[in-house]
């Protein structure tokens, strides 16, 4: 069963725009840089992401959003716990991200 991840980020106020863009590009690059150790193929589908442009003012400070898809829980678990590209992103962005929220869901499971 597919699992979708919604990743919301709030970059620190004094982070230069080119640094947030580079961090966002690293997330978008998960689609090609996250390689499954068994199949040796990309296993994360990045459905999209970018800077907030909502008119409603309900972002709670979040500035960027991304949607990722995993084919199954095993792939998600590998991504969170072991994938080198994801772990490198998390480590390298600690100084520029003020807040991150993650929501995962399986479609139709309520």
* Dihedral sign of CA atoms 53, 56, 60, 61 in order: positive
Mean pLDDT of 77-105: 96
Q: What residue ranges do the domains of the chain occupy?
A: 3-96
Q: How far apart are CA 84 and CA 82, in angstroms?
A: 6
CB 35 within 8 A of CB 42: yes
Global pTM reads 0.92
Collapse the DSSP code of 47 into the 3-class scheme (helix H, G, I; strand E, B; otherwise coil) and give the result: strand
pLDDT digits over 59-71, tens only? 999 999 999 999 9
Right CATH number for 3-96 from 3.10.400.10, 3.90.550.10, 3.30.70.100, 3.30.70.1230?
A: 3.30.70.100
């Amino acid at each position: 069963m597919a699992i979708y991840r919604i990743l919301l980020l709030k970059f620190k106020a004094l982070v230069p725009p080119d640094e947030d863009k580079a961090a966002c590009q690293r997330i978008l690059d998960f689609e090609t840089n996250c390689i499954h150790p068994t199949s040796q193929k990309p296993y994360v589908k990045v459905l999209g992401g970018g800077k907030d442009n909502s008119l409603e003012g309900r972002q709670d400070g979040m500035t960027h959003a991304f949607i990722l898809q995993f084919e199954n829980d095993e792939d998600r678990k590998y991504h969170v716990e072991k994938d080198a590209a994801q772990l490198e992103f998390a480590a390298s962005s600690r100084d520029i991200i003020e807040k991150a929220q993650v929501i995962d869901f399986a479609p139709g499971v309520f």
